[in-house]
Each structure stands twice: as C-alpha cells, then as structure tokens.
Amino acid sequence: MGEATTPEAAWKALDQDLADYLEKKGLKPSCRAGCFACCFGWVTLSRLEAEALLPHLTPAQKARLLEEGPRRLALLRQGKDDPLFPSRFFQGRTPCPLLEGGLCGVYPQRPLACRGLLTAGDPALCLPEARAPKGHFLPVPWRMARLRMEALWEEEKKRYGFLLLGELASLLYLLLQGLPEGREAVEATLEALGVLGGRWGYQLG
C-alpha cells in the first residue's frame, strides 16, 4: 500500500485497492445507485476527511446539515454510552443529510467509511430490519478502508497535533459553525456539548 496522506489521495487509493481486490476475487458487489440502506447508518469520520468534504457542499446540503447536526448531537449526548446506540439509530431510518433522491450527494468526496462498506449479497439484507448476518458486508474491503483511515489519522495528528473523530453530519455541522483552535479548546467545546467520549461519542487522539 502506497502513501496517501491527503483525503483525496486516500479516497482514490482505496477505490483502486477495492477494484483490484474485487477483480482478483471475482466478486461483484450488489451495491447500486439508488440503493441506500447503509446511508441510514451512523458514519464516523476524521476531521481531515470532513474538512476535505466541506468546500464541495452545496447551499442546500449545508442547510440540511445545520438542521440535522444539532439533532444528532442531542441523540449522541443521550446515547453515547448505550451499547445499542448505533443499532437504535439505524433502526430509526434517518437518512444521511447528504443523501439526495436516493443518491449520495457528495459521491466523489464520500468518506472512507462509506466506500469500504460493500456487499456481494442480497441488498435486502442491508435494510435496518433485516439485521444483516455475519459476513454480509465484505470484511476485507472494510479492513482496507480502516487502514486508509488510520494513515489519515496519523497525518491529522501531524497537522493539528491531535486527532478528532466524530459522526459525519454533526462533525460537518460543528466545522460549519467553526471549531476553536487547539486540542484543549476543542475538548472543552465537546465536553460542554456532552458528546465527548463514552462508547460512541467524539474521540480525541
């Protein structure tokens, strides 16, 4: 695996990793345009990825994030220690605010977490009520995405002196509002919002 220390390079590199792997294994993902069950999920990404996405947002996408961000922060405040939180959120079928007419509205800039979630199985098993059986989502593509994420996390630590991981819509919302400079100030902001730490809350590394 080569170096990919910007989100744009990591996205491209992962797409190539996935294409090579799927071809080698003769796997054909059943993921298709218009199939968006995974977009009901709780997606986590790093600040660097979120910042790379920000300049591509349309005014309508920003408006939806400004509405949805506070709602997700409130859910997280209540549920960040609940072991079943992501599953409850998924069951709630709240679509990602970047989903537009059943299609990802930021497809070229979608996070590594979205790119790495693939299945070659029955798409009906991706739906929240189906409770996908073990192995439904291809494990190797997910691990490939995770490795690309980890490389970006190291880059973020070098650039900012710390790593910030959080949920997609709420992190974009916080960045749109403007995060303060420095780890201590970011930590204080997240503490005040009640969304830092716990099992599913924002993480600083």
Report 113-142 residues binding ligand SF4 (CB under 6 A): 114
Q: Which helix (H) or strand (E) holds 15?
A: helix 7-25
75 touches ligand SF4 (CB under 6 A): no
Q: Measure the CA–CA gap between 79 and 76, rounded to whole angstroms.
A: 5
Residue 156 has φ and ψ, to the nearest 5°, of: -65, -40
Between 54 and 157, name the residue whose CB sits nearer to ligand SF4: 54
Question: Terminal CA-to-CA distance of the chain, rounded, Å?
Answer: 24
Distance CA 205, CA 194 (A): 17
State the nearest-atom distance from the C-beta of 53 to ligand SF4, in Å: 8
Nearer CB in complex with ligand SF4: 43/147: 43
The answer to whether 77 and 194 are in contact (CB under 8 A) is yes
* Region for 104 from its dihedrals, namely left if φ exceeds 0, alpha if ψ lies in -120 to 50, beta otherwise: beta
Shortest spacing between CB 128 and ligand SF4, in angstroms? 14
Helices (H) and strands (E) in the chain, counts: 8, 5
Interface mask toward ligand SF4 for 20-39; x: CB under 6 A:
-------------------x
Nearer of residues 4 and 43 to ligand SF4, judged by Cβ:
43
Whose Cβ is closer to ligand SF4: residue 79's or residue 105's? 105
Residues 148-187 that bind ligand SF4 (CB under 6 A): none
Q: Which stretch binds ligand SF4 (CB under 6 A): 91-99, 140-148, 155-163, 190-198?
A: 91-99
88 versus 183: smaller Cβ distance to ligand SF4: 88
| Residue indicated by tokens 């995974």 | 38
**Percent helix / strand / coil, the chain, rounded to 5:** 60, 10, 35
User: Of 92-111, which residues contact ligand SF4 (CB under 6 A)?
Assistant: 96, 98-99, 104, 106, 110
d(CA 79, CA 37): 22
**Residue count, binding to ligand SF4 (CB under 6 A):** 9
State the residues that interact with ligand SF4 by CB under 6 A: 39, 43, 96, 98-99, 104, 106, 110, 114
